[in-house]
Amino acid sequence: MATDDTKIAILGGRGMLGTDLTKICGRQSFNVEVFDLPEFDITNSRQLKEALNAAKTIVNCAAYTDVDGAESEAEEAYRVNAEAVGRLGELVKEANAWLLHISTDFVFDGRLDRPYVETDTPNPINKYGKTKLAGERFLTQSGCRHCILRVEWTYGSAGNNFVTKLIQRAKVDKTLKVVDDQIGSPTATTEVAKVICKLLRTKPAGLFHFASAGYVSRYEMAEFIFDKLSMDVNLLPCKTADFASAAARPLNSRFDCSKIKALLDEPIEPWQVPLERFLRQI
């Protein structure tokens, strides 16, 4: 079967980011084919080859994303986030294709006192972050044509995330504790998808950070959400150390997005704007 040079294969196309990316690619007249569970498994080399037979441009949104679950299912997380990504890179190189791979702020330990740039040394503090970093490194070692896009604090309509979980909790419990020492940029998957579509047209090489503009704590984000939804919630600030969780979380997830801004033809919106749009839709 001849490869279609105009087609884009989206791996993990039914996940939170993949769903929005598929929709926005469709609106922008990209020719898209979606590959996802249950019929597609990124750890299956034969199925990876079939995806490469379908398209010369690949976007990999497929990942093991259960941060706490990765602590007890480290081998599975490694198979999906590291080994499979390395194999994908090898196949992309063989096919002379181009790959955009999604990574995460969790490759950093969150101890830096400024926003992270792409040249900062990663130092993940949980198993999920370690598997994602291994995937980045395997991909680079493969020598394929690729771009890595690190994103953070993502939310969207097609998956569980901080925003939807918070709203669900508030329907049951009118007093909620939210951490005020984790700082980052809430980033809508619709915004990530728009940026990916721009990168698909130019196919840059290298590593990029993307997040909505501005920074906020999880607690201040919760305040914003409940204010916009006019929900009566007794919101109490607390520290990350007060919560028992399987996986450690980085406290500083701030990204410096100067590098990717140079590739975009319009400014990155402040985090409040897409979040308010999202809240109006739900």
| 147-194: pLDDT as tens digits | 999 999 999 999 899 999 999 999 999 999 999 999 999 999 999 999
Q: How far is CA 64 from CA 35, 137, 187, 191, in A?
A: 15, 17, 19, 21
Neighbours of 32 (CB within 10 A): 20
pLDDT, position 2: 45
Residue in the structure block whose two tokens are 């990316």:
21
Nearest to 189 by CA among 217, 162, 221: 162
- Each residue of 35-70: pLDDT tens digit? 999 999 999 999 999 999 999 999 999 999 999 999
Helical segments of the chain, H only? 16-27, 45-54, 69-72, 74-78, 84-94, 127-142, 162-172, 189-202, 218-228, 258-261, 272-281
Mean pLDDT for 19-32 is 96
- Whether residue 174 is contained in a domain is answered as no
- Whether residue 155 is contained in a domain is answered as yes
Nearest to 146 by CA among 97, 195, 103, 106: 97
Q: Do 156 and 213 form a contact (C-beta atoms < 8 A)?
A: no
Decide if pLDDT at 86 tops 70. Answer: yes
Encoded tokens for 223? 């305040």
DSSP label at residue 159: S
Q: Do 151 and 192 form a contact (C-beta atoms < 8 A)?
A: yes
- Euclidean distance between CA atoms 226 and 209, whole angstroms: 28
175 phi/psi in degrees, rounded to 5: -120, 120
Task: Read off the CATH number of the domain in which 259 is found.
Answer: 3.40.50.720
Catalytic residue among 128, 155, 215, 219: 128
Q: Containing domain of residue 35, as a range? A: 4-161+185-214+249-271
pLDDT, position 244: 87
Domain count, the chain: 1
Q: What does pLDDT average to over the chain?
A: 96
Q: Which of helix, strand or coil describes residue 275? A: helix
- Euclidean distance between CA atoms 99 and 137, whole angstroms: 14
Q: What percentage of the chain carries pLDDT values higher than 70?
A: 98
At 1, the pLDDT band (50, 70, 90 cuts) reads very low
Decide if pLDDT at 3 tops 90. Answer: no
Neighbours of 135 (CB within 10 A): 28
Angle at 75 between CA 73 and CA 79, to 5 degrees: 120
* Burial environment of residue 177 by CB neighbours within 10 A (0 to 12, 13 to 18, 19 or more): middle
Q: Which of helix, strand or coil describes residue 81? A: helix
- Whether residue 133 is contained in a domain is answered as yes
- Whether residue 131 is contained in a domain is answered as yes
Q: Do 257 and 210 form a contact (C-beta atoms < 8 A)?
A: yes
pTM > 0.85: yes or no:
yes
- Whether residue 238 is contained in a domain is answered as no
Reply yes or no on whether 219 is catalytic.
no
- Whether residue 227 is contained in a domain is answered as no
pLDDT, position 6: 77
Decide if pLDDT at 113 tops 60. Answer: yes
- Whether residue 208 is contained in a domain is answered as yes
Decide if pLDDT at 4 tops 80. Answer: no
The sign of the CA dihedral 239, 241, 247, 248 is: positive
Mean pLDDT for 201-215 is 97
Q: Pairing mode, if any, of strands 216-217 and 4-11?
A: unpaired
Q: Do 275 and 224 form a contact (C-beta atoms < 8 A)?
A: yes
At 239, the pLDDT band (50, 70, 90 cuts) reads very high
- Whether residue 30 is contained in a domain is answered as yes
- Euclidean distance between CA atoms 50 and 91, whole angstroms: 10
Mean pLDDT for 221-228 is 98
Decide if pLDDT at 16 tops 70. Answer: yes
Encoded tokens for 145? 């044509």
